[in-house]
Amino acid sequence: MGDSLYQIVIGIELSIRIGVIGTGYMGKNHVRVFSELTGVKLVAITDIDERIVKLLSEKYGVRGYSDYMTMYETEELDAVSIAVPTSQHMKVVLDSYEYVNNVFVEKPIAANLVESQNIVDEVNKRNTIFMVGHIERFNPAVLKLKELLKNDHLGRVVTLTALRVGPYEDRVRDAGVIVDNAIHDIDVMRFLIEKPVKLVYARMGSRKTRFDDYSTIVLEFEEDIIGNVVANRLTPTKIRTLKVTCEEGFALVDYITQELAIYGPVLDTHYQDYEELISKFGKPEVGKPRVDRQEPLKLELQHFIECVKTESTPIVDACEGHENLEIATKALESAKHDKIFHIPTKKK
């Protein structure tokens, strides 16, 4: 038999044996999703909070540990999903590679670029699957918009504007809004237009924490495409939208409702006076392509499992995760020093 982890043995499919490290806000959802996916056997979970481990291990019928190294020394795993605080990402990832070849880690890839590069270097040394959890790429509305842009239904992209605001959540204590929130939109913009960022400028401020609590980021991509990301964790209402202006249309994505609206040309441009002009220009042709609502996390983790089965590269690999963090880090530095950062084009 070959070396693939996913083989047919006497007509029976082998399941990917997976463990989850970190069962907090995101990790407990990883546990739930992996318990539901076909072709997956959730073997064990680990978290320093023994109470949560006990509750989840009993609920899902899996073994629980308070130390992930004990889990590795006890269990036989094919892959691991890591959802610990960002400051611990590098250590847990590098420790994990002593035991498994397939690793999923929640975004951002690491706490800083040095640690991120250490992960990239380790991944490049191994025949391994490594994926970073940039979940918005798997939002069905984003995937539908990607399809429309790819097929040139809206013409060339001119600008992208993202709004990601909401109330402060105490669960994130080791990162500011740029690295924890705005990085989602940095990733989505890169995914949609497939152009490198060549310029970053940002402003930010703090109200509740020692980190940045609100920010505005301007990104200039190749071909003079402009991206603007407004993010905060101060606003009572959670809003997650993306507007994409193109030469032949305009798209509006609501990440939360997974709705996509496409605005075409104004229906009637003939008018007698200012009042009629306002009335008619307020009635553009609007279409709502069908978007089948699905849980983005389930699509994301299913993609990771499929990559493990087929030994293929995830769409958000180590390099993609590193580039997202690099741009977010440049935005932080730009805001701190009131400086425009030019990013050299990387050789492929």
Mean pLDDT of 183-192: 98
Question: CA-to-CA distance for 254 and 217, rounded, in angstroms?
Answer: 20
259-266 and 226-232 as β-strands: parallel, antiparallel, unpaired? unpaired
Mean pLDDT of 159-172: 89
Question: CA-to-CA distance for 27 and 49, rounded, in angstroms?
Answer: 12
SS (H, E, C) the chain: CCCCCCCEECCEECCEEEEEECCCCCHHHHHHHHHHCCCEEEEEEECCCHHHHHHHHHHHCCEEECCHHHHHHHCCCCEEEECCCHHHHHHHHHHHCCCCCEEEEECCCCCCHHHHHHHHHHHHHCCCEEEEECHHHHCHHHHHHHHHHHCCCCCCEEEEEEEEECCCCCCCCCCCHHHHHHHHHHHHHHHHHCCCEEEEEEEEECCCCCCCCEEEEEEEEHHHCEEEEEEECCCCCCEEEEEEEECCEEEEEECCCCEEEEEEEECCCCCCCHHHHHHHHCCEEEECCCCCCCCHHHHHHHHHHHHHHHCCCCCCCHHHHHHHHHHHHHHHHHHHHCCCEECCCCCC
Q: Which of 326, 263, 259, 318 is nearest to 293 (CA)?
A: 259
Mean pLDDT of 182-197: 98
Look at 75 and 269; give whichever has higher pLDDT: 75
| pLDDT reading at 209 higher than 50 | yes
Here the tokens at position 176 are: 């500011």
Mean pLDDT of 37-55: 97
CA neighbours closer than 13 Å in the CB half-sphere of residue 15? 14
| pLDDT reading at 84 higher than 70 | yes
Q: What is the pTM of this model?
A: 0.90
| pLDDT reading at 297 higher than 60 | yes
pLDDT bin (cut points 50, 70, 90) of residue 170 is: confident
Question: CA-to-CA distance for 245 and 249, rounded, in angstroms?
Answer: 7
Question: CA-to-CA distance for 183 and 134, rounded, in angstroms?
Answer: 9
Q: Which domains does the chain have, with CATH numbers?
A: 8-133+298-315 (3.40.50.720), 137-295+326-342 (3.30.360.10)
Cβ contact 163:241 at 8 Å: yes
